[in-house]
Amino acid sequence: MAAKQEIKYKVRKIDGTDGIEGTISLNAIQDGARYLVHRAVVAQLNKKRQGTSSTKTRSEVRGGGKKPWKQKGTGNARSGSSNSPLWNGGGAAFGPKPRSYAHKINVKERRLALTTALHHNFSKVRVVDSLSQETSGISTKITLTSLSSILDFSQPKQKKLIITDKHDKKLALSIRNVRNLKLTSANTINIIDLLETDQILVTENALKHICEVYSE
């Protein structure tokens, strides 16, 4: 059963110094959390599938209108068409056809799964008051220098996620060529990013936006 879960967090400044403390309330479930999160993950992965694979059935393969040989007297097995699935070059039996793999998940379920995943992985989260100092210009070097006071770049294989309250074009251009560093906004956050990421940096406004939208 979903219930409001209070989480205390400490807001850091971009230079790494500690700021004020805050509290947020997230809708989260304890029992059955794995099942709900699994449903949301499968729904997102299935939605990404193309579903464009296609094969021809025996009625769609070219040719095959003529009976290959007479019914009796040849010693061969009887056959009525060269388009049979048994023949080389014949149609496919039960082959794939274009389809959609997406399956419906309720909006409330998806939101609850996301807030539950965020609640159980909040130990990865670091809250910053603002990223305005990074976005003063487009520079990868300056941006990484500023972020290194909060994020740990000593392990480049660890995935890092930055969540802002709205899309920041300058910040996106500054970090787009940095490996395992992804930028997203509070409106476009998804559950797979939360689960796969080792370090999460979120602005205070983005965190409040997530609580308002996804925990309503």
Residue range 112-141, pLDDT digits in tens: 999 999 998 999 999 998 886 544 678 889
- Candidates 23, 4, 17; CA nearest to 146 is 17
Rounded CA-CA distance 13/132 in Å is 11
Q: Please name the amino acid found at residue 207.
A: L
Q: Set out the domains of the chain in order of their start, with CATH numbers.
A: 3-49+103-214 (3.40.1370.10), 51-100 (no CATH)
Scan for tokens 């014949």, then name that residue: 90
Rounded CA-CA distance 52/128 in Å is 43
**Strand-pair partners of 200:** 125, 161
pTM over 0.75: yes
All residue ranges of the chain with pLDDT < 50 are: 134-135
C-alpha neighbours within 13 Å on the C-beta side of residue 14: 14
pLDDT at 198: 94
How deeply is 34 buried, as exposed, middle or buried, from its count of CB atoms within 10 A (0-12, 13-18, 19+)? Answer: exposed
46-63 pLDDT, tens per residue? 999 999 999 999 999 999
pLDDT at 135: 47
Residue 21 in contact with residue 11, Cβ under 8 Å? yes
206 Cβ contact list (under 8 Å, min separation 6): 163, 164, 165, 185, 186
